[in-house]
Amino acid sequence: MVIDHRLIDFFKKHKLYNKEMFKYFEEHSTMIDPNYEDERMLTGCAYSIDRYTGILKDIHITLPYIIDESTLLDSVHELTHAIFSYYKIGKRFEKDITIETLPLLYERLYIMDNPSQKLEAYGKHLDSLIDETDPEYYFAINARETLLKSYNYNPTQMIKIVSQMGKKYYFNEWKNKHKRR
Ligand SMILES: [Zn+2]
């Protein structure tokens, strides 16, 4: 893994950097050439989950070499997935409605920390791709506004708030299903 110092500085600033964890990422990652669209599509964070126990065994990240603002922001997104999943290795892991919330939050924080027209434009472009047909992204884009209001550089607190929002979402879903007609 080739990791840009701007990303390291960003994650340090937001208290998400841990040397051991990034060493793990180095050993569990692939770099791709973002100049080729079919390679670029491979960008992502993959979870290896034991099919019998549901326990997360490993994470593998595929990141683009940094060539511009879009590759920076895509890397913030995937690394955020990896960072928050890293602590779940060895534990039961389920993808739920909140899975895209923190990556979208930290994407936005990266733009706020490094204001530039190109970054803002790419951020807007990403947001414009989201609609109700992507439940996880749709949930995330709404939750992000709430999280930004109470953002205080405390990842543990962010996790707590996000998980509460997720529970509320599932409770409302359940309530709607069981509504008396
Ligand atoms: Zn994502």
pLDDT tens across 4-17, in order?
999 999 999 999 99
pLDDT tens across 36-78, in order?
999 999 999 999 999 999 999 999 999 999 999 999 999 999 9
* Å from CA of 136 to ligand 1 middle: 9
* Å from CA of 78 to ligand 1 middle: 6
Q: For residue 105, which of 69, 68, 141 has the smallest C-alpha distance?
A: 141
pLDDT tens across 14-28, in order?
999 999 999 999 999
* Å from CA of 137 to ligand 1 middle: 8
* Å from CA of 82 to ligand 1 middle: 10
* Å from CA of 100 to ligand 1 middle: 5
* Å from CA of 26 to ligand 1 middle: 19
Residue in the structure block whose two tokens are 């065994």: 57
Question: Where does the pLDDT of residue 178 fall: very low under 50, low under 70, confident under 90, or very high at 90 and above?
Answer: confident
* Å from CA of 141 to ligand 1 middle: 12
Question: Where does the pLDDT of residue 180 fall: very low under 50, low under 70, confident under 90, or very high at 90 and above?
Answer: low
Rama region for 156: left / alpha / beta (φ>0; ψ in -120 to 50; rest): alpha
- pTM recorded for the entire structure: 0.94
Q: For residue 81, which of 20, 145, 30, 16 has the smallest C-alpha distance?
A: 16
CB atoms within 10 A of CB 100: 24
Assigned token pair, 115: 């204001």
